[in-house]
Amino acid sequence: MSDPVRVNRGSLTDLKNAVDDHLKKFLTTNQGYTENHLHIDIKLFLGYLSCLFAAIGSWYGYVHSFDDSRTITAVCVGAYFFLNVILFLYTTFVEKDTVFVGVKRDPVSKSPIEILTISANMKRYSHIYELTFASERPASSKASPSKYLLESSFGEWFDEDGVLHEPELERDLKDALEKSGTKVHVE
């Protein structure tokens, strides 16, 4: 058995991250979802590409004199700035509050039978954590996506020492999955 997850109860960010991490673990190991890493891959690509421009500009400025490297350095700084603006816009307007995108596949045909997207929202200075479960079935074109909002206090999932109570969190997650129209795997 793994060590219990312990966080600082005074840090809402630590509480949120612990719940998000356990949510991903629960859905991928217990419920049969495969996580889609598209958002992470795009952010990594933009970050690495901007760092590459920064490294090229630094290297070129080190090797050549200032007058010779001024144009290349300006282009690299401009590209770095532009890529970071794109990264900010992508995170703000495309990824938004998404914490998990998972696909459940048919065991025989390997075609996707369900896509689950979970978004999180936490108001500033509030202990209430909102998780929106959106379930979509691509194989069934007639079925519209279903949604369910899970609102809970971090105090229901963590004790006074900051230890995550996994059974309570998993119970709430299973309940939310059922109410969002997904098929819950019971162990």
pLDDT for the residue numbered 125: 85
pLDDT for the residue numbered 3: 86
The contacts of residue 63 (CB under 8 Å, 6+ apart) are 69
Give mean pLDDT in consecutive 10-residue pieces for the chain, a chain of 187 residues: 87 95 96 95 98 97 94 97 98 96 91 93 91 86 79 95 96 93 67
pLDDT for the residue numbered 71: 96
Query: pTM here?
Result: 0.87
pLDDT for the residue numbered 185: 65
